[in-house]
């Protein structure tokens, strides 16, 4: 196992983590962005399984959050405002009238402090950042650390930890777009996905949760027995149509299985299993991905990747019963998500 550090322009650094199986994770200190994940197919061919730019400088102006660390609050906050302990906090409206992914200067734009490490069975990079009270409109000084760890079991482990000195909303995630076909040879229509979830949040026409928890059974949102993503992309179901022909919905996990999500791509034989202690995730099938951007292996187009944004729900700021995003000064935010790559 080894780590290579490459100095880029503007104080950016790239870290290449390589395990003993030839799996490679490349990430930047800018935005904590994962730029590539090289993983073998069933025949041992190592290919990239995430979307990333050909030119690294394109991440500066990326509207898609490719591979980025998201915060302070992942997802959309209705009306770009929330009330906490009697005080209304106004945020940047960077998604119509709503606030998305921490705003245009969120954690995806930060140059993080970094420390690489090598342990007996893993290598990785620990990223840290201090977010000041009032930054982005949010209350509280936040101390953050996020660890990216690659093991010889072909696992990418993300560990998040944060504290605050004022009560504040916080939920972090990674926004990688996965495509297990390898080197973007195909779209994600035929990816088979299993999700340990029987409920999801209804969206309104602005992609904001309407306050209703819907049952997935007998809809294209029931992934408990596995189904291809094209079932929803092509379904004509009202909720899939609202999302732009696909999924951009928060799934509430049942946590009845160790593996919360399992994704298979039958041509390559690649399998991605996700374990997490988060209460749910947004699955986003790149419905709004614009065409023609120069990615590492191909030009971008709709439905070229799928995101599994494990997190709590920012809709809990406006609706009860949803997974809470509030962090108090006497608490430590601690979350873990594992992406495990195998073949069959």
Alpha-carbon 11 to chain mean position: 24
Query: For residue 100, what are the contacts with CB-CB under 8 A and spacing of at least 6?
Result: 75, 76, 77, 94
Q: Kindly report the CATH class assigned to 2-343.
A: mainly beta
Query: For residue 342, what are the contacts with CB-CB under 8 A and spacing of at least 6?
Result: 154, 270, 271, 273
> In this structure, are residues 163 and 275 in contact, taking their beta carbons and an 8 Å threshold?
no
Report residue 246 as tokens.
């696909």
Query: What's the CA gap between 108 and 110, in Å, rounded?
Result: 6
Tell me, yes or no, if 105 is annotated catalytic: no
Question: Would you say how long the chain is, in residues?
Answer: 344
Query: For residue 136, what are the contacts with CB-CB under 8 A and spacing of at least 6?
Result: 72, 91, 92, 102, 103, 105, 106
Query: What's the CA gap between 235 and 219, in Å, rounded?
Result: 9
* Ramachandran sector of residue 218 (left: φ over 0; alpha: ψ -120 to 50; beta: rest): left
Report the predicted TM-score, pTM, of the whole model to 2 decimal places.
Answer: 0.98
**Beta-carbon count within 10 A of 180 CB:** 27
Report residue 189 as tokens.
């229509």
- Given 47, 155, 265, 309, the catalytic residue: 309
Tell me, yes or no, if 309 is annotated catalytic: yes
Query: What's the CA gap between 3 and 11, in Å, rounded?
Result: 19
- Given 101, 175, 191, 249, the catalytic residue: 175
Residue spans of the domains in the chain: they are 2-343
Report residue 202 as tokens.
């209804």
Query: What's the CA gap between 198 and 52, in Å, rounded?
Result: 32
**Digitized pLDDT (tens) for each residue of the chain, 344 residues in all:** 999 999 999 999 999 999 999 999 999 999 999 999 999 999 999 999 999 999 999 999 999 999 999 999 999 999 999 999 999 999 999 999 999 999 999 999 999 999 999 999 999 999 999 999 999 999 999 999 999 999 999 999 999 999 999 999 999 999 999 999 999 999 999 999 999 999 999 999 999 999 999 999 999 999 999 999 999 999 999 999 999 999 999 999 999 999 999 999 999 999 999 999 999 999 999 999 999 999 999 999 999 999 999 999 999 999 999 999 999 999 999 999 999 999 99
H or E, element range at 115? strand 113-118
């Amino acid at each position: 196992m080894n780590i290579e550090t490459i100095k880029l322009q503007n104080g950016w650094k790239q870290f290449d983590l390589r395990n003993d199986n030839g799996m490679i994770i490349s990430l930047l200190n800018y935005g904590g962005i994962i730029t590539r994940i090289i993983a073998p197919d069933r025949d041992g061919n190592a290919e990239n399984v995430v979307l990333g730019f050909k030119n690294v400088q394109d991440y500066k102006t990326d509207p898609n959050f490719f591979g980025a660390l998201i915060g302070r609050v992942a997802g959309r906050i209705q009306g770009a405002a929330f009330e906490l302990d009697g005080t209304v906090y106004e945020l940047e409206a960077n998604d119509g009238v709503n606030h998305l992914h921490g705003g245009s200067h969120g954690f995806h734009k930060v140059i993080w402090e970094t420390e690489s490490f090598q342990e007996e069975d893993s290598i990785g990079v620990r990223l840290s950042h201090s977010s000041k009270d009032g930054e982005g409109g949010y209350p509280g000084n936040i101390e953050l650390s996020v660890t990216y760890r690659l093991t010889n079991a072909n696992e990418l482990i993300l560990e998040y930890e944060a504290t605050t000195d004022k009560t504040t909303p916080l939920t972090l995630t990674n926004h990688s777009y996965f495509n297990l076909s390898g080197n973007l040879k195909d779209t994600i229509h035929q990816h088979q996905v299993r999700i340990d979830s029987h409920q999801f949040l209804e969206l309104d026409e602005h992609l904001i949760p309407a306050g209703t928890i819907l049952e997935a059974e007998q809809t294209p949102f029931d992934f408990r027995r596995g189904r291809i993503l094209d079932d929803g992309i092509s379904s004509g179901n009202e909720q899939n149509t609202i999302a732009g022909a696909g999924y951009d919905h928060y799934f509430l996990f049942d946590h009845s299985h160790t593996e919360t999500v399992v994704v298979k791509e039958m041509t390559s034989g690649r399998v991605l299993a996700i374990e997490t202690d988060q209460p749910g995730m947004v699955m986003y099938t790149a419905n709004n991905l614009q065409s023609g951007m120069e990615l590492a292996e191909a030009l971008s187009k709709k439905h070229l990747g799928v995101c599994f944004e494990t997190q709590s729900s920012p809709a809990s700021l406006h609706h009860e019963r949803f997974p809470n995003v509030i962090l108090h000064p006497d608490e430590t935010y601690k979350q873990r998500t594992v992406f495990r790559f195998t073949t069959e």
